[in-house]
Chains A and B, each alone.
Chain A
Amino acid sequence: MEKFTKLTDTAVPLPIENIDTDQIIPARFLKSTDKKGFGDNVFRDWRFDQKGEKNEDFVLNDPTYSGPILVAGDNFGCGSSREHAAWAIAGYGFKVVISSFFADIFKGNALNNGILPIQVTPEYLKELLALVTEKPDTKLTIDLENQLLSTPAGKLEFEIDPYKKVCMINGYDDIDFLISKKEKIEAFEQERSF
């Protein structure tokens, strides 16, 4: 997994609530057996119409907005467990998603792929969306070590599971950790009473 420490860049506003994983990556694109290429189809049916023509109104097709930070509406990533959604977000180039609420499975999948989900209050989100929408060249800084999100308007401390923070900063994933517990796992299998 890629390491994540600090990032300063512009953001893309997507003020839609309940963005589900079927919107992030529609099921018909889940037939690949590797993790590559999903970024091409992120938000496919919002970016393109049925004929494959660009929907000019959609923010990702608007040259005004760019950057590796996605600022999205409440309850981002609800629905399916497909990790393809995280691969699509990462594949497109997003490294951070900021929302007022994340669905559980998406949040875990994001963290397992080096994408940092930052949860803020609904009020803060509203202000941030307004800021990046009105001033598209606004730079945001995300400092994971100090758990700080900085905008020209000020600094905000965000929360992250301490274990996951260490994983993100060092690029570790859970597999190595779990394998290191092999003896304990085997002992558990022997000792369990049912």
Chain B
Amino acid sequence: MAGKTLFDKVWDAHVVDTVPNGPQVLYIDKHLIHEVTSPQAFSELEERGIPVARPDQIVATADHNTPTVDQHLPVRDVLSRNQLKQLSENCEKHGITLYGLGHKYNGIVHVMAPELGITQPGMTMVCGDSHTSTHGAFGTIAFGIGTSQVAQVFASQCLLLTKPKSLRVNVNGKLKPNVLPKDVILYVISKIGTNAGTGYFCEYAGNVFEEMSMEGRMTVCNMSIEMGARGGMIAPDQTTFDYVQGREFAPESAEWEEKLAYWKTLPTDDDAVFDKEYSFDAEDIEPMVTYGTNPGMGIKVTGTIPDKEDVNLDKALAYMNFKKGESLIDKPINYVFIGSCTNSRIEDFRIAADFVKGKQKAPNVNAWLVPGSQQVAKQLIEEGLDKVFTEAGFALRQPGCSACLAMNDDKIPEGEYCVSTSNRNFEGRQGQGARTILASPLMAAATAVAGKITDITKQLN
């Protein structure tokens, strides 16, 4: 019998029951909730008179719809304020821990949970947000769910699911200087497309991921959904254990030792077989930018937009106002956004600050920096990065999802280009008519300084 994958091991350990010829009942260890996808689930339970089964396994934050300025004041937008109020009331009523606006642990759900040690290897975690895949960086089965499923987890701490197929993405070799985890995942998606992972759970393997920091691994796993995979995982190793140990909700002493021993058994067996596998050479990866309206439409910054007959490409380029065969280098850019659950952790800001230090943002650029959490914001100040950014003319805002999905006031105006460290370049994602170019924090910082897209490889060498 073939060995088990990391995914198999964690999945199988959480199966409560199997419906004959049907789905399985999967136990969920941690359920993260936020203001946008939870209210209808709470209402559903109330209408049916069902209590929340395991409130102590739920953690809530306010992030999607929160302002990133003046968070100490009442939220101006009435609908947003109401949504946040409902979250507070629902959490209070059902005894759920909430890190609301202004709380020292408040932040984007996928930044907050890992940094507090809530996310741990071998767990099953869900959230009504497709970027829940982020937590897979810890060797966790973590995936986004719809609101009906949020209600199911509230009611039973379980979900009814059909086990997905297995996929492995291997990247081996030596990454070139200034190629960041974001470039690696944008490269992979540009090669395999936005639906190659649909129906699969992905494992990222190879020395490139083994050598990445936890924050880098989170960036990679975060974008698993952009290739269609419900989730992506990386085997837990010493890097993982060192990151988790000592955090607020990490296990301690005897419990730590016991869990650690278990976590060490999780990596995929050598003889395990995957349903689908892709392999890439690290040497082929360069700093990436997207030119179209889905995350698979990416090219090396030194490359050119594909010149081929394709109605989808035509539609995307019409929206972006780009031409086939052209390079993006020297395209003027007026907005830069460094933030989102993909790239808003301290390492992202360190990389950007390192580049920006002693330079000035171009006068045409509005550069928004939105830390992923209060803790990241605090660390920025402790490390003096806030000064580097403000001296360079960047606007440092307060934590939240912000311009990644533009639910709050942080919107990119119609027709404007934004080089963004977020995860989606869909039409209108960052505001009606806004044109998003996805890139790494380094590319974003370089764009802000130059006021246009620059060949970062040339600049740094």
Contact = CB atoms under 8 A, between A and B. Distances in A.
Contact of B65 (A31, A74, A79): A31
Contact of B27 (A28, A109, A185): A185
Interface residues of A, number: 53
Contacts of A143: none
Contacts of A185: 16, 25, 27, 156-158
A78 B36 CA distance: 18
Given A30-B407, A78-B228, A79-B130, A162 B21 contact: yes
A153 interface: no
Interface stretch (A62-70, A99-107, A129-137): A99-107
A22 B319 CA distance: 15
A194 B16 contact: no
B79 A179 contact: no
Nearest to B156: A178
A102 B195 CA distance: 9
Interface stretch (A3-11, A13-21, A53-61, A88-96): A13-21
A181 B17 contact: yes
A179 B159 CA distance: 11
B282 interface: no
Given A30-B407, A31-B83, A175 B146 contact: no
Interface string A105-123: 1001100110000000000
Contacts of B428: 22-23, 26, 45
Interface in B134-159: 144-149, 151-152, 155-159
Interface string B71-108: 00000010110110010000000000000000000000
A82 interface: yes
B83 A194 contact: no
B48 A83 contact: no
Interface stretch (B37-45, B346-354, B389-397, B444-452): B37-45
A81 interface: yes
B250 interface: no
Given A18-B312, A22-B424, A80 B152 contact: no
Given A33-B39, A50-B414, A22 B427 contact: yes
A113 B158 CA distance: 19
B219 interface: no
Contacts of B262: 194
B371 interface: no
Contact of B22 (A22, A109, A161): A161
Nearest to A31: B79
B429 interface: yes
B152 A34 contact: no
B230 A27 contact: no
B116 interface: no
Contacts of A113: 148
A81 B129 CA distance: 5
Contacts of B388: none
A184 B17 contact: yes
Contact of B195 (A27, A103, A189): A103
Given A30-B36, A175-B48, A163 B19 contact: yes
Interface of B: 13, 16-17, 19, 21-23, 25, 27, 36-37, 39-40, 43-44, 48, 50, 64-65, 77, 79-80, 82-83, 86, 122, 128-130, 132, 144-149, 151-152, 155-160, 162, 164, 194-195, 198-199, 225, 228, 230, 258-259, 262, 294, 312, 315, 405-407, 414, 424, 426-429, 432-433
10 contacts: A27-B406, A33-B40, A78-B195, A78-B228, A79-B426, A81-B130, A103-B228, A112-B149, A178-B152, A192-B27
The 10 A-B residue pairs with the shortest CB-CB distance, nearest first, are A31-B79, A81-B144, A178-B156, A163-B22, A109-B146, A33-B39, A83-B146, A112-B148, A83-B147, A81-B130
